[in-house]
């Protein structure tokens, strides 16, 4: 959320379900009464009041794009009815002014006036329920109340992906608390200012995508009208009221589990340098002919195919000890500390997709080497090489680079060649011992130039005949 430092009042809050250029505040008693008449649970007239709400929910709604850029729609100009600037007292500003703009010059509400804001009352009530607090601060007031400069507050809000709102009264106590916490970590020396901005950006981008997924997929399925004649909106409020505390607790649980796992991997690194630049196996799995599919399939069918692919890939990667870095529609990127784990995931993906007639063919490329990790993503030559290997891999096949092949051989997961495997088996038989058991087989392919990386020698990865 970028802001207008001048306090001019330009801009407006993009409330859920509302129209850009308008702000909104607490819902009136009359609105709540009308909502109750439509079968919605009766709530206090203030947004967020009622059972199951909390005062520590995350603050202002993020921009749908999830990125740090502001939204030009909220620049200077536009209709600012309902934009009520505070009295300049920062944290002492009281939410006495309603955002439906039915106010006389002395600030009193005219009960006979028609509300000017045409924002959906249900959307306002949902916002209050989710945020757990009512709108009471402009960005300037929120920054001052948190003891943070407008410059730093703006950097944090942009990093979290919040849209421009000028100086509209659209922020809550939770927004103030979030600013205090981030600034406090910087003041205490626990985080640098740059690191605090990175924390804000990574959290904003991750949760923005999560929120979009939940609204588009999860709630869409759950809010089908339970009875004929009921609209989806009539069941949305009570449903969110029940789900919100449960999903919030579940989110924290999963985050703690993932944090514990990531911390464990880092502390096991051999040295400080390896904590940042680590040797990993990186794999890309790509659906073959996806562009052609987009021309033939309906949008809904295409969405179902992508979701099935991403779900299958995520399940297989997690089940076998890898980490899903990101999904790109027709492609997934994963990593693993162990080359054998990465190889198993790749072959499982090929086998699973081949057994599903609805899925197109798949190809996988894997490289092993030093990888730079940053904000949950991976970078470096190893990642680029894995991507290039994927682009030249045959259908339903896995190509790996020489470093990956050496790592499999070193760990005993694969013989260097079939001749070596035969020699080892003969020697073991002569000594009366069990022959070595290999999980994978490697076949060298022709050397070929790869754009930006020179000439490489790829290897075809497969299961050993006795392991298939």
Whole-angstrom CA distances from 78 to 3, 73, 168, 194, 460 are: 15, 9, 12, 34, 61
Burial class (CB within 10 angstroms; exposed 0-12, middle 13-18, buried 19+) of 81: middle
Give the per-residue pLDDT at 403.
94
CB count, 10 Å around CB of 383? 22
DSSP label at residue 91: G
Would you call 300 exposed, middle or buried from its count of C-beta atoms within 10 A (0-12, 13-18, 19+)?
exposed
Where do runs of H (alpha helix) occur along 268-338? Answer: 272-276, 290-296, 299-319
pLDDT at 407 > cutoff 90:
yes
pLDDT score for 219: 61
Q: Of the ranges 137-146, 176-185, 197-206, 447-456, which one carries the lowest mean pLDDT score?
A: 447-456
Q: What is the pLDDT of residues 199-256, one digit of tens each?
A: 999 899 888 888 888 877 666 666 556 666 667 667 778 888 888 899 899 999 999 9
Which of 88-92, 273-277, 364-368 is the least confident region?
A: 88-92
pLDDT score, position 218: 65
Q: pLDDT, tens digit, for every residue of 279-333?
A: 899 999 999 988 787 788 888 888 888 888 998 999 999 999 999 998 888 899 9
Both tokens of residue 243?
Answer: 């789900």
Report d(CA 354, CA 340) in Å as an integer: 21
Per-residue pLDDT, 271: 55
Reported as a single tens digit per residue, the pLDDT across 60-108 is 433 333 333 333 333 333 333 333 333 433 334 333 333 343 344 444 4
Does residue 85 contact residue 138 with C-beta atoms inside 8 Å? yes
């Amino acid at each position: 959320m970028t802001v207008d430092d001048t306090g001019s009042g330009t801009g407006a809050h993009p409330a859920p379900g509302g129209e850009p250029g308008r702000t909104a505040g607490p819902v009136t008693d009359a609105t709540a009464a009308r909502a109750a008449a439509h079968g919605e649970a009766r709530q206090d007239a203030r947004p967020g009041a009622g059972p199951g709400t909390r005062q520590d929910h995350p603050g202002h709604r993020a921009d749908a794009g999830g990125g740090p850029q502001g939204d030009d729609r909220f620049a200077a100009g536009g209709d600012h009815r309902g934009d009520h600037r505070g009295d300049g007292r920062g944290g002492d500003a009281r939410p006495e002014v309603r955002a439906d703009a039915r106010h006389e010059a002395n600030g009193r509400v005219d009960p006979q006036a028609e509300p000017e804001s045409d924002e959906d009352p249900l959307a306002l009530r949902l916002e209050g329920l989710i945020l757990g607090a009512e709108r009471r601060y402009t960005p300037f007031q929120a920054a001052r109340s948190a003891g943070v400069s407008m410059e730093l507050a703006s950097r944090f809000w942009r990093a979290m992906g919040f849209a421009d709102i000028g100086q509209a009264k659209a922020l809550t106590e939770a927004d103030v608390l979030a600013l205090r916490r981030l600034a406090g970590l910087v003041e205490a020396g626990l985080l640098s200012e740059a690191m605090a901005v990175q924390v804000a950006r990574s959290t904003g981008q991750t949760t923005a995508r999560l929120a979009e997924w939940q609204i588009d997929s999860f709630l869409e399925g759950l809010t089908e009208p339970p009875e004929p004649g009921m609209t989806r909106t009539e069941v949305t409020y009570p449903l969110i009221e029940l789900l919100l505390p449960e999903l919030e607790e579940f989110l924290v649980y999963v985050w703690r589990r993932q944090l514990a796992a990531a911390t464990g991997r880092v502390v096991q690194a051999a040295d400080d340098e390896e904590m940042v630049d680590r040797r990993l196996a990186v794999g890309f799995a790509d659906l073959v002919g996806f562009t052609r599919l987009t021309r033939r399939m309906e949008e809904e069918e295409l969405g179902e195919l992508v979701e099935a692919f991403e779900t299958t890939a995520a399940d297989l990667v997690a089940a076998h000890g890898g980490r899903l870095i990101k999904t790109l529609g027709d492609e997934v990127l994963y990593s693993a500390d162990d080359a054998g784990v990465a190889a198993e995931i790749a072959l499982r993906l090929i086998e699973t997709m081949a057994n599903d007639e609805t899925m197109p063919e798949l190809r996988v490329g894997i490289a092993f080497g030093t990888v730079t990790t940053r904000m949950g993503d991976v970078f470096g030559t190893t990642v680029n090489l894995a991507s290039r290997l994927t682009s030249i891999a045959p259908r339903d096949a896995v190509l790996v680079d020489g470093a990956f092949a050496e790592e499999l051989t070193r760990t005993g997961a694969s013989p260097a060649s079939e001749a070596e495997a035969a020699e080892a088996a003969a020697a073991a038989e002569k000594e009366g011992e069990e022959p070595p058991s290999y999980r994978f087989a490697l076949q060298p392919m022709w050397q070929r130039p790869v754009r930006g990386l020179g000439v490489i020698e790829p290897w075809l990865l497969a299961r050993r005949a006795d392991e298939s």
